[in-house]
Chains A and B, each alone.
Chain A
Amino acid sequence: MNWLPQSASTFAPGVDLILWLVTIISVLSCVLIGFLLVYFCVKYKRKSDNDQTPAITHDSFLETLWTVIPTILCIVIFLYGYIYYDEYTTTPKNAVEINVTAKQWIWSFDYSNGKKTLNELYVPVNQPIRLVMQSDDVLHSFFVPAFRVKQDVMGNRYTYINFTATKEGVYDLYCTEYCGTAHSDMLGKVHVLSKAKFASWEDGSADKALKASAANIPPAELGKQLYSSKGCVACHSIDGADGVGPTWKGLFGKKRLFVDGSSAAADENYIKESILYPGEKMVEGYAPVMPSYKGLLDDSEITAIIEYIKTLK
């Protein structure tokens, strides 16, 4: 069985080397100690209450041995840990910066060309990346197991992660600093694209192609995909369970009570307004935590989400 996630960054092999090194030291030590424990229990089992035992109190040679060997091993492990950490924390000169904002319970990414994505980070393969991260609220932590990188994100200053992805693919992104109700749903994906695919993603032609293919699937189906890919899933359930935000089950057409005392039925216009300007009509019992999706979803995508909500009866 695999005990390490796939390795997809320049930093990962170094970390894995340490993990293997310490695992081998640990297994050998455990086998040695476990063996001696059992061997002594068998060999020196009490035969009678009159067993004669020697009054050995110490042995300078042995004690020196088991002081010096662990010390040397510790120094070696420290050095490996230090060397790769040093490499990881040193930013390459040609690194491309991406701004990351964490917020309960969404990751958003701002790219130098003005593009913005939610929960989906797009990077080219073999390109050093520097993430400049901050939080809008509590502490979060950016963790991509396949890259072996992790860094806490906080509100009062920027923190950084350097990585260079080495393999194309889609990798899991986790929040690893406990941040409340939907902590375990504050998930994302890192898309590592070939240079060519990244260029077409960057100039928007990939988007167009995607939209073209999206035109061939039913809107409700597209809405379902957007529900997970755009992070709605973190706060809105589709099975009626109450989350950070109202459930989508049975939402369409339901009467909504707002904090200012007014009320309205949840129709297409109301849902669209809530997606673009979530703070306008706050439903009673929920905190004003939803970010605006203005600029992140276009009209056809919003329509698709509305169609999807309609199917959740």
Chain B
Amino acid sequence: MSEVNEKNYLENGEGFASWFFTVDHKRIGVMYLWAIAVFFIIAAIASFLVRFEHLTPGQTIVSADTYNVLFTLHGSMMVFLFIVPGVAASFGNFLIPLMIGAKDVIFPKLNLYSFWIYLAGAAIFMIALAGPADTGWTFYTPYSIETGANVILITLGIFVLGFSSILTGINFIVTMHKLRAPGMTWDRLPLFCWAAYATSLLQVLATPVVGITLLLLIGERYFGLGFFDPARGGDPVMFQHFFWFYSHPAVYIMILPAMGIISEIMPVFSRKPIFGYKAIAYASLAIALISFLVWGHHMFVSGQSKLVNIIFSVITYAVAVPTAIKVFNWLWTMHKGSIELSTAMLYSLAFIFLFTIGGLTGLFLGALAADVHLHDTYFVVAHMHYVMIGGTVFGFFAALHFWYPKMWGRMFDEFKAKIAFVLIFIGFNVVFFPQFIMGTLGMPRRYFNYAPEFQSLHQISTYGTWIIGAGFILMLWVLMRPLPGKAPGNPYRSVSLEWSMDSPPGTFNFDEIPTITEPVYNYGTKVEEES
């Protein structure tokens, strides 16, 4: 075994088969990373075209129908192929065994099958989208039925993708229960693992609803049962309930792993223990549980009863509190620290700031009377992108840079990476901040054409995509060209377990399963303060 472990995981086997049939959690994590990167790039290109179209009212480069297809492609690929499966499956796979002191996940073959299922689901989903679908990523009935988009095939794709999520979720949960190294008690579990645990719970519990929706759609289409189609006595709003009962927890499937990443990075570059470990861990679980009960806040103006709206508004605010707690905990981790502004740290700080804006603008939307005005306007588009890009994608980029040495065994050019960061940060705000104002002014979303008074704000937003696009390209260029020389095992002097072995790790991670004797994030030496 140790002979195999002398080779690092990247060198242990070459060629397509050595990757495609591997059961090594690190290689599977890397394959997920490549897959989601490809989908991210395609979906990002679609979004650049959407924004370019908005340089002028009416047609700029594409027709209304093409525009509708483009935003559908952008939204549904980003959500279902990149952001839902993405961060948890790629970094979760790579990191969880390293962080808990295990040689692999508990079901390595199942892990590989999950990846294959993901690819199969992605293929079905892409075929369904190529229809082309023009329904938006929410596939609301009855439009989605009338337009001839193959809703059943789309749902089947999400269902198959969901199976991959469920199996990965089960794998992670059992791994964390059974394979923690001796001494790795629950209160020493790294917060990324806590976040992955909460995410996995959501994946296992929420995803089956997609399966139920699929069955109902099949029942309606092939057996004439009226569930969603008003012509058959069904209720289109019920489709929205099913859709959001899955898709709202999915929002937290997207954001929780990124929160875990930030919780890992803040202590390392502040050289302080994470502030309020227990509060963050429990907040992850609280967010996961409450997230099942707030789906109706997507439907305040869709015709739900007044009482239901009021209840959903209350519960929505209940989810805001644990989120606020997390932000302050990350912030206070820096207090009296020794702060190094590495690229990963910059992305983490940007995450805290942008996610705060994303969260605060959620307060507008949770207030019933205000949501009546803001619903389905650009305000929602901006809010959602501040959470999903400013939150998840910035967290994901932080992870790409932070674990880069561990994953690839090389270092990257920090200076150039920081320039890319600055471009992405500025570009992002230029794209999305004006959209808040467009939204409060009443500019509806998914509008091909718009009134001339919105043109200047639309143009600023479009110029921002060029800045952020340049940032993406530079970041990719920097990461594709590692510096010469091997990375040290622990370049950041981290005390976390995943930095205790060589970079990149050997195939079996640890020569010997370690015994954990210290608290997690055991930084700080000054004794005059209580600890």
CB atoms of A155 and B142 under 8 A apart: yes
Given contacts A52-B526, A78-B313, whether A46 and B451 have CB atoms under 8 Å apart is no
**Does B343 interact with chain A (Cβ within 8 Å)?**
no
**Does B377 interact with chain A (Cβ within 8 Å)?**
yes
Q: Mark B238-267, 1 if CB is under 8 A from A, else 0.
A: 000000000000000000000000000000
Q: A155-B231, A184-B449 provided; 15 other pairs, C-beta below 8 A?
A: A5-B441, A5-B442, A15-B369, A26-B360, A46-B339, A53-B337, A54-B524, A82-B369, A85-B310, A138-B142, A149-B372, A157-B303, A180-B68, A183-B447, A242-B63
Stretch at the interface among A60-68, A116-124, A207-215, A265-273: A60-68
Residues of B within 8 A of A15 (CB): 369-370, 372-373
Of residues 168 through 217 on chain B, the ones whose CB sits less than 8 Å from some CB of chain A are none
CB atoms of A172 and B442 under 8 A apart: yes
Which 6 pairs from chain A and chain B are nearest by CB? A145-B442, A81-B367, A55-B524, A156-B230, A51-B338, A85-B368
Given contacts A41-B339, A150-B301, A155-B230, whether A56 and B376 have CB atoms under 8 Å apart is no
Q: Which residue of B lies closest to A62 (CB)?
A: B332
Distance in angstroms between the alpha carbons of A175 and B139 in the assembled complex: 17
Stretch at the interface among A28-36, A190-198, A253-261: A28-36
**Does B489 interact with chain A (Cβ within 8 Å)?**
no
Partner of B317, one of A18, A78, A143, A180: A78
Min CB–CB distance B353 → chain A (angstroms): 6
CB atoms of A2 and B376 under 8 A apart: no
Partner of A84, one of B301, B332, B369: B369
CB atoms of B444 and A74 under 8 A apart: no
CB atoms of A174 and B442 under 8 A apart: yes
Partner of B531, one of A29, A57, A159: A57
Min CB–CB distance B357 → chain A (angstroms): 6
Given contacts A33-B353, A53-B526, A63-B325, whether A139 and B372 have CB atoms under 8 Å apart is no
Min CB–CB distance A86 → chain B (angstroms): 8
Min CB–CB distance B45 → chain A (angstroms): 22
Q: Which residue of A lies closest to B379 (CB)?
A: A19
Of the A-B pairs whose beta carbons lie under 8 Å apart in the complex, a sample of 30, sorted by A's number, is A18-B364, A19-B440, A22-B363, A40-B339, A41-B334, A44-B270, A45-B341, A47-B338, A53-B524, A55-B524, A55-B526, A55-B531, A57-B274, A57-B275, A57-B531, A63-B325, A78-B317, A81-B368, A83-B369, A84-B369, A138-B142, A139-B236, A148-B373, A152-B302, A152-B303, A155-B231, A172-B442, A178-B446, A180-B147, A184-B444
Given contacts A53-B523, A70-B324, whether A82 and B363 have CB atoms under 8 Å apart is no
CB atoms of B356 and A29 under 8 A apart: yes
Distance in angstroms between the alpha carbons of A26 and B364 in the assembled complex: 10
Residues of B within 8 A of A55 (CB): 272-273, 522-526, 529, 531
Given contacts A3-B441, A145-B442, A156-B236, whether A22 and B143 have CB atoms under 8 Å apart is no
**Does B502 interact with chain A (Cβ within 8 Å)?**
no
CB atoms of A179 and B339 under 8 A apart: no
**Does A49 interact with chain B (Cβ within 8 Å)?**
yes
Q: Mark A134-151, 1 if CB is under 8 A from B, else 0.
A: 000111010101101111
**Does A217 interact with chain B (Cβ within 8 Å)?**
no
Given contacts A57-B277, A70-B324, A80-B369, whether A30 and B357 have CB atoms under 8 Å apart is yes
Residues of A within 8 A of B369 (CB): 11, 14-15, 18, 80-85, 88, 148
Between A and B, how many residue pairs show CB distances below 8 Å?
283
**Does A304 interact with chain B (Cβ within 8 Å)?**
no
Distance in angstroms between the alpha carbons of A67 and B450 in the assembled complex: 42
Residues of A within 8 A of B445 (CB): 176, 178
Given contacts A46-B340, A139-B236, A145-B373, whether A51 and B335 have CB atoms under 8 Å apart is no
Min CB–CB distance A112 → chain B (angstroms): 24
CB atoms of B143 and A178 under 8 A apart: yes
CB atoms of A141 and B331 under 8 A apart: no
**Does A75 interact with chain B (Cβ within 8 Å)?**
yes
Q: Which residue of A lies closest to B228 (CB)?
A: A156
Min CB–CB distance A105 → chain B (angstroms): 11
**Does A276 interact with chain B (Cβ within 8 Å)?**
no
Q: Which residue of A lies closest to B318 (CB)?
A: A74
CB atoms of A81 and B366 under 8 A apart: yes
**Does B314 interact with chain A (Cβ within 8 Å)?**
yes
Min CB–CB distance B129 → chain A (angstroms): 16
Distance in angstroms between the alpha carbons of A233 and B275 in the assembled complex: 60
Given contacts A78-B314, A179-B143, A181-B64, whether A150 and B375 have CB atoms under 8 Å apart is yes
Q: Name B's A-contacting residues (CB within 8 A).
A: 59, 63-65, 68, 134-136, 140, 142-143, 146-147, 230-231, 233-237, 270-279, 301-303, 306, 309-310, 313-314, 317-318, 320-321, 324-325, 327-329, 331-332, 334-341, 349, 352-353, 356-357, 360-361, 363-364, 366-373, 375-377, 437, 440-442, 444-451, 493, 522-526, 528-531
Min CB–CB distance A54 → chain B (angstroms): 4
CB atoms of B370 and A155 under 8 A apart: no
Residues of A within 8 A of B448 (CB): 183-184
Min CB–CB distance B331 → chain A (angstroms): 6
Q: Which residue of A lies closest to B232 (CB)?
A: A156
Residues of A within 8 A of B233 (CB): 156
Distance in angstroms between the alpha carbons of A40 and B333 in the assembled complex: 10
Distance in angstroms between the alpha carbons of A157 and B437 in the assembled complex: 33
Min CB–CB distance A259 → chain B (angstroms): 19
Distance in angstroms between the alpha carbons of A154 and B230 in the assembled complex: 9
Min CB–CB distance B374 → chain A (angstroms): 8
Given contacts A54-B524, A55-B523, A57-B277, whether A151 and B301 have CB atoms under 8 Å apart is yes
CB atoms of B376 and A176 under 8 A apart: yes
Partner of B441, one of A2, A29, A243: A2
Given contacts A85-B369, A181-B68, whether A143 and B444 have CB atoms under 8 Å apart is yes
Residues of A within 8 A of B236 (CB): 139, 154-156
CB atoms of B279 and A63 under 8 A apart: yes
Distance in angstroms between the alpha carbons of A221 and B327 in the assembled complex: 61
CB atoms of B328 and A54 under 8 A apart: no
Residues of A within 8 A of B377 (CB): 176
CB atoms of B317 and A77 under 8 A apart: yes
Q: Which residue of B lies closest to A160 (CB)?
A: B303
CB atoms of B444 and A176 under 8 A apart: yes
Partner of A22, one of B273, B302, B357, B367: B367
Distance in angstroms between the alpha carbons of A37 and B446 in the assembled complex: 35
CB atoms of B143 and A141 under 8 A apart: no
CB atoms of B336 and A44 under 8 A apart: yes
Min CB–CB distance B363 → chain A (angstroms): 5
Q: Which residue of A lies closest to B531 (CB)?
A: A55
CB atoms of B303 and A53 under 8 A apart: no
Partner of A33, one of B147, B313, B356, B373: B356
